């Protein structure tokens, strides 16, 4: 089967800093690296490296050909990525010595995906494929409506959290993933917690405390894997891409979550985003 990912593509400028800057504070960065990133691109690379067929739907500017080429190198089908006149999205990521990060994103081409891009892409979709999106892009509502109408399973990562974007999507979802903070924001915006939503599977990630799956078996805790983190950027996207890849390959939810937890654990021991997401062989060989 195929996962269709309507998602953002960024150039990530990563700065190493002693701590996350406070308001009004100026810091010297000890290092700067440039990576392929964006929540959507990260998810696509993770799914590809987890062994499934992933087609990315998105947009870059005239300056973004390198990002499309990089996605292709990592096994992502890029035929549904449009080139638009708007500058490719980019993020400024500050990574502190303890592994925590602070991020500023310029959305650019991620919010300028042409209206006909999704329709043209999904003409090749099949019933039972997955469609996933998140909050870095435009056309989310159009995408989930069309995907549901076509018989695709619809997944959504509610990040970066935006109540206006999230609320209209909820009736069309089969799968929702969000972190603890986003779950609280959703509850504040809608009055609904994970067990109140009319969504078959809801995953709440909890960083170093693992995750909880709210689904057919009731709340199920997925234990964390303890590692020494150096950079948490992209770990949640890696987790999501791996979960969806596992489901697409027919794994039970619990198994998909356990494999995704291993992938995320490896990810936080590395500096970078899409370029350093582990492949399935590394995840299988992880020594606990």
d(CA 227, CA 278): 15
What are the strands, taking DSSP E only, across the chain? 2-6, 10-16, 31-37, 53-60, 77-83, 89-95, 101-106, 130-134, 153-157, 175-179, 201-205, 211-215, 218-222
- Are the C-beta atoms of 39 and 134 separated by less than 8 Å? yes
- Are the C-beta atoms of 147 and 154 separated by less than 8 Å? yes
Q: Which DSSP symbol is given to 277?
A: P
Q: Which residue in 129, 237, 248, 275 is the catalytic one?
A: 237
d(CA 103, CA 14): 9
Active site residue 98: no
User: How many other C-beta atoms are found inside a 10 Å radius of the C-beta of residue 79?
Assistant: 12
d(CA 230, CA 132): 28
How many helices and strands, by DSSP H and E, does the chain display? 9, 13
The catalytic residues are 237
């Amino acid at each position: 089967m195929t996962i269709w990912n309507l998602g953002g593509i960024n150039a990530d400028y990563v700065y190493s800093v002693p701590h996350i800057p406070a308001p009004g504070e100026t810091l010297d960065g000890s290092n700067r690296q440039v990576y392929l990133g964006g929540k959507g691109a990260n998810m696509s690379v993770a799914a590809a490296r987890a062994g499934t067929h992933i087609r990315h739907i998105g947009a870059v500017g005239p300056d973004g050909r390198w990002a499309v080429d990089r996605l292709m190198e990592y096994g992502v089908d890029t035929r549904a990525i449009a080139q638009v006149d708007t500058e490719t999205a980019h993020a400024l990521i500050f990574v502190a010595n303890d592994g925590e990060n602070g991020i500023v994103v310029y959305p650019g081409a991620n919010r300028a995906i042409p209206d006909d891009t999704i329709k043209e892409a999904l003409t090749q979709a099949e019933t039972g494929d997955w469609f996933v999106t998140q909050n870095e892009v435009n056309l989310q509502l159009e995408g989930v409506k069309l995907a549901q109408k076509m018989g695709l399973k619809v997944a959504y990562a509610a990040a970066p959290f935006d109540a206006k974007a999230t609320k209209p999507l909820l009736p069309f979802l089969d799968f929702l993933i969000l972190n603890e903070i986003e779950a609280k924001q959703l509850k504040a915006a809608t009055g609904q917690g994970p067990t109140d939503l009319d969504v078959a599977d809801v995953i709440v990630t909890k960083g170093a405390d693992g995750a909880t799956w709210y689904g057919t078996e009731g709340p199920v805790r997925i234990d964390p894997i303890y590692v020494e983190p150096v950079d948490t950027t992209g770990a949640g996207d890696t987790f999501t891409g791996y979960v969806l890849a596992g489901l697409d390959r027919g794994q039970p939810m619990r198994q998909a979550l356990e494999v995704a937890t291993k992938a995320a654990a490896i990810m936080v021991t590395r500096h970078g985003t899409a370029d350093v997401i582990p492949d399935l062989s590394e995840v299988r060989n992880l020594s606990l």
